[in-house]
Amino acid sequence: MADMDPATLTTPWRRDPAETLPALSCWVEHTMGSGARVEDLGEPGNGMSSETVLFTVVTPDGNRDRLVARLAPMPDVYPVFQTYDLDLQRRCMDLVRERTTAPAPVCRYLETDSKWLGTPFLVMERVDGEAAPDVPPYVFGGWIMDAAPEQRDSLLTRSVDVIAQVHTITPANADLSFITGPDPAASAMTAQLDGQRAYYEWAREGVTYPLIERTFDWLVPRQPADRETVLNWGDSRIGNMLYRDFEPVAVLDWEMATVGPREVDIAWMVFLHRFFQDLAVRFEMPGLPDFMTPEVVCAIYEDLTGYTPENLHWYEVFGALRFAIVSVRTSTRGMAYGQMERPGDPDDLIMFRTLLDGMIA
C-alpha cells in the first residue's frame, strides 16, 4: 500500500518561483500601475490540486499590499480535477463573506487571461494565521497536538460554526444558479453521485479500481431521502482554515463547492480526521482519537443550528469515495512524475483502502 510518505508528496509539477516572479511582476505593473513591484514571493505548505503564491505589492508611495494568488492548474501538469472554475470559487467566497460571519477571503482580482502566468488566477487579500498541516498531518504533532483539550474543543466548535454559517445560504435565499446547473429542482445528492461517477471515469484513465466500484455499489441502493439543499463548501476541513488563537480567520479552498445536504460537509470534516487518525495509528502514533468524532461534531452542529444530522455513516462513505478518487488521481500523477511505481493491485493507490473497505463491509 502507498503510505503517506512526505517524500511522495513533493510537487515537481509546481513552477519555479524564479519563473513566477518576473511574470507576476509584469501583471502587477499592468494592473496596479507603473512602478508597482512584487516582493516576498513565497508559497504555503498545504494544497495538492493547485498552486498558491504569496506575495507583497509595493507601490511607488511605499504602500505594502499583502496578497495571495490561487493559480488554476496548468493543463499539461496532470491536473487533479477535470475542470477548475476560479469564477465559481470567487462567487462562493463573495457570497459567504457578504451573507454570513464565516471569514471568507476578500477577492481582489480574477485574471482570466493566461498570457501572464500561463493559466488564469485569482488574487485575494492575504490573511495571517496557522493552518492544520497535511504533511506531516496535524495528528503526528504540532500546534494542535500541543494544545490543551479545551483549546481543541474551542477550535472544533468554532470550525463547525463556520460550516453552519455556510449552510445558511440556500437556493431559496440566494442565487446559486452558477453552481446548481440547469435543473435546480433535481436531487442535489443524486447530482453529486453522478458527478463523482463522471469524475472517476475521467480520473481512472481506463484503469479499474474494484474498491471504488464496490463503494459506488454500496452507496447507490442506500442513498438517503433528500433533505434540505444548502451551499456545500465541499472541502470542509480544518486544514482549509487559518486560525489565530484557535479562532478561524480565513475559510479557504472552494474548488469543490456545490449544493447538497448539510451532511455532505459535516461528514467530510469527520472523515478527513478519521483518515488522518488512521494514518497515526498505522505509524504507531497516538494521534487524537477523541477529537472530531462523529458524535461530537453532530452534537455541536445541532446545538448551533437546531438541525439534527442523519445517516452520517452514508455521507462519510460518500466522502471516502470522493477522497479515494482524488487519491487515485494524485497517486497517478506521482507515477507520471516518477515519484512512485505503479502497484500490482490498482487499489493500492488508495492510501486508506483498509479503512474504506471496513466502512462498507
**HEC secondary structure over the chain:** CCCCCHHHHCCCCCCCHHHHHHHHHHHHHHHHCCCCEEEEEECCCCCCCCEEEEEEEECCCCCEEEEEEEECCCCCCCCCCCCCCHHHHHHHHHHHHHHCCCCCCCEEEEECCCCCCCCCEEEEECCCCECCCCCCCHHHCCHHHHCCHHHHHHHHHHHHHHHHHHCCCCCCCCCCHHHHCCCCCCCHHHHHHHHHHHHHHHHCCCCCCHHHHHHHHHHHHHCCCCCCCEEECCCCCHHHEEEECCEEEEECCCCCCEEECHHHHHHHHHHHHHHHHHHHHHCCCCCCCCCCCHHHHHHHHHHHHCCCCCCHHHHHHHHHHHHHHHHHHHHHHHHHCCCCCCCCCHHHHCCCHHHHHHHCC
- Cell 455556510 belongs to residue: 166
The number of beta carbons lying within 10 Å of the beta carbon of residue 71 is 22
Which pLDDT belongs to residue 8? 40
Q: Is 235 annotated in the active site?
A: yes
State how far the Cα of 56 lies from the Cα of 50, in Å rounded to an integer.
20
User: 195-221: per-residue pLDDT in tens?
Assistant: 999 999 999 999 999 999 999 999 999
- Report how far Cα 45 is from the mean position of its chain's Cα atoms: 14
Lowest mean pLDDT among 3-12, 61-70, 261-270, 321-330: 3-12
Three cell numbers, residue 152: 481543541
Using an 8 Å Cβ cutoff, are 170 and 311 in contact? no
C-alpha separations of 224 from 67, 167, 188, 297 in Å: 42, 19, 12, 20
- Domains detected in the chain: 6-125 (3.30.200.20), 138-359 (3.90.1200.10)
Percent of the chain with pLDDT over 90: 82
> Residue 185's pLDDT band (boundaries 50, 70, 90)?
low
Look at residue 340 in the predicted model and tell me its pLDDT: 83
Question: Residue 6: what pLDDT?
Answer: 39
pLDDT tens digit sequence for 308-351: 999 999 999 999 999 999 999 988 888 877 788 889 999 999 99
Determine the pLDDT at residue 59.
95
Measured in Å, how far apart are the chain's first and last C-alpha atoms? 19
Say if residue 243's pLDDT is above 50.
yes
**Confidence (pTM):** 0.93
Annotated active-site residue in 235, 253, 265, 347: 235
The stretch 39-66 carries a mean pLDDT of 85
The cell 480520473 sits on which residue?
Answer: 203
Averaged over 257-276, what is the pLDDT? 98
| Interatomic CA distance for residues 355 and 361, integer angstroms | 10
Q: What is the mean pLDDT of the chain?
A: 92
Alpha-carbon distances of 333 from 45, 130, 342, 355, rounded to whole Å: 19, 28, 11, 23
**Closest Cα to residue 107, out of 85, 124, 92, 94?**
124
